Amino acid sequence: MYRNALKDLKGWKNQKNRKPLVLRGARQVGKTWLVRKFAKEEFNHLIEINFDDTPEQAKLFVKGDVARCLQLLEIEHNQDIIPGKTLIFLDEIQAVPEILPYLRYFYEKRPDIFVAAAGSLLEFLLSEHGFSMPVGRIEYLHLGPMTFEEFLLAMDQQRLVSFLSGIHPHESIPESIHQKLLYFLKLFWIVGGMPAAVAAYRSSKSFQSPNREHGIILQTYEDDFSKYRKRIYPQRIRKVFQRIPALVGKKLKYVNLDPNERSKDLADTLDLLEMARVIFRVHHSAGNGVPLGAEMKAKDFKPLFLDTGLMTQSLGLNLPTLEVVKDLTLVNNGAVAEQFIGQHLLYQYLSYEKPELYYWNREKKSSSAEVDYLLAVENVVVPVEVKAGASGSLKSLQVFLSEKRAPLALRFNSMTPSLTELTVQINGTPGHSYLFLSLPHYLVCQAKRLLKEVMG
């Protein structure tokens, strides 16, 4: 399989002012596989320590004494550590979080040594310890599930990926290719982007295999919560974790999680789940300009799950059901479509930038409005609407365009691409003109490029 993040790792290797790299992301998104693939292609030797399996190797790291540490690692692994040719990989570093501050010494004393680390639940753990990450002396790579285009590559559909990367806003897509892409889209909604599930489906072509992998992953997450945060009521974490997939796309109200729990306890639980990177909060932004986070409302948010495959597994959906559904709006009221678009937009920026995503709503009596997502493209705020099928109301989009005088809007649906110049219409009164880009869901990986083309 191929991951786009491999290019980011190679870019990190070639930096002049390189720092130790920490890969961050939920468990099972492919961090270990990615580093091993990187090491195989770019280095002669790999020294890999899995701290889950061998926590005692943490004793090889001597605070402030990098020379001694390197000597002990060479003895332990019976190989020389050669600058530029050896990669030191510290996997499952969350098992020994006291090692994290030591990474700074490699940057300060031996920047010629390549050090990469990977771990899950890092924020989860750091909140329980009395130290912080060595800010300014390490760098991050944020990794999420596989994208739709990476999934296509895993399905041996290289020609489809090349076709999508060459599409332009005004270009039509032949109906037969459009239908083929919609098939793979629905397949992705079930299999998802967790590498183990993708690999299972690729090898077996049976939907039981990825479903089994999803079950294992979900259970692993629940086991992790109890393992690393015992002071939080385990049943509450499990209950909230299991409820989130059914609430994707809706403004979250704590009563919908559990009417018998205190809001403060539920908020703390959501914090932990977000630290574990298994859910994300899509916060409201006023959307008046960039950065979008500058006008964020912390208490106003919609939940996003980690992956469509895990979501559909949790909701009990299956491929035979989707195969006979002509209008995808029938599938969980479009929440799966919003999840699919959301998890891709979440990781649309550079890999070293922390994933974040925003939406917009206006709550007024008899005139409420909500736009699914907001994007910042070339300092322009672009409202994004997600429709599961071919049609749907765009009243909220019109409200946003009118209030913000936005010049551009984006819609995802099941139709082929189109670009039109329209006029804002509020209660029958025309307003300013704007460009309206409509894309099929399967072009989400190309959305940012296409928006830039539209903007000229």
Q: Which domains, from first to last, does the chain contain?
A: 5-142 (3.40.50.300), 149-455 (no CATH)
Section 9-15 average pLDDT: 96
Residue 309 to residue 336: CA distance in whole angstroms: 9
Residue 170 to residue 168: CA distance in whole angstroms: 6
| Chain segment 104-129, per-residue pLDDT in tens | 999 999 999 999 999 887 776 666 66
| Chain segment 264-274, per-residue pLDDT in tens | 999 989 998 99
CA distances 360 to 172, 180, 363, 396, 416, Å, are: 31, 33, 10, 10, 26
Q: Give me the pLDDT at residue 161, please.
A: 98
Confidence of residue 10 (pLDDT cuts 50, 70, 90): very high
Residue 170 to residue 420: CA distance in whole angstroms: 9
Q: Give me the pLDDT at residue 97, please.
A: 86
Residue 358 to residue 360: CA distance in whole angstroms: 7
- Other Cβ atoms within 10 Å of 264 Cβ, number: 9
Q: Give me the pLDDT at residue 363, please.
A: 74
Q: What DSSP assignment string belongs to 372-384?
A: EEEEEETTEEEEE
Residue 15 to residue 102: CA distance in whole angstroms: 21
320 prior amide bond cis, ω within 30? no
Percentage of the chain lying above the pLDDT 70 cut: 92
Chain centroid to CA 338: 13
In degrees and rounded to multiples of 5, residue 386 shows phi and psi of -115, 120
Section 25-48 average pLDDT: 97
Q: Give me the pLDDT at residue 380, please.
A: 95
| Chain segment 268-308, per-residue pLDDT in tens | 899 989 988 999 999 999 999 999 999 999 999 999 999 99
| Chain segment 187-218, per-residue pLDDT in tens | 999 999 999 999 999 999 888 899 999 999 99
In degrees and rounded to multiples of 5, residue 269 shows phi and psi of -65, -40
Q: Give me the pLDDT at residue 194, please.
A: 98
- Lookup: tokens for 247: 């609430």
Section 2-24 average pLDDT: 95
Most confident of the following: 163-167, 225-229, 270-274, 428-432: 163-167
Section 331-358 average pLDDT: 89
Do 305 and 244 meet the contact criterion of CB atoms below 8 Å apart?
yes
- Other Cβ atoms within 10 Å of 213 Cβ, number: 24
Q: Where are the beta strands (DSSP E) in 94-240?
A: 114-119, 139-142
Section 79-84 average pLDDT: 96
Section 392-398 average pLDDT: 87
Residue 294 to residue 313: CA distance in whole angstroms: 36
Q: Give me the pLDDT at residue 46, please.
A: 98
Average pLDDT, the chain: 91
Please choose, from the candidates 417, 425, 427, 423, the residue with its C-alpha nearest in 3D space to the C-alpha of residue 449.
417
pTM for this predicted structure: 0.94
Confidence of residue 425 (pLDDT cuts 50, 70, 90): confident
Helices (H), 78-141: 103-109, 122-126
Amino acid at position 214, single letter: H
Residue 382 to residue 371: CA distance in whole angstroms: 10
Residue 32 to residue 119: CA distance in whole angstroms: 9
Q: Give me the pLDDT at residue 374, please.
A: 98
- Lookup: tokens for 178: 């459009």
Percentage of the chain lying above the pLDDT 90 cut: 74
| Chain segment 225-265, per-residue pLDDT in tens | 776 555 567 788 899 999 999 999 999 999 999 999 999 99
Confidence of residue 350 (pLDDT cuts 50, 70, 90): confident
Helix (H) or strand (E) holding 77: helix 66-77
Residue 364 clears pLDDT 80, i.e. is over it: no
Please choose, from the candidates 78, 88, 79, the residue with its C-alpha nearest in 3D space to the C-alpha of residue 48.
88
- Lookup: tokens for 106: 């490699």
Confidence of residue 330 (pLDDT cuts 50, 70, 90): low
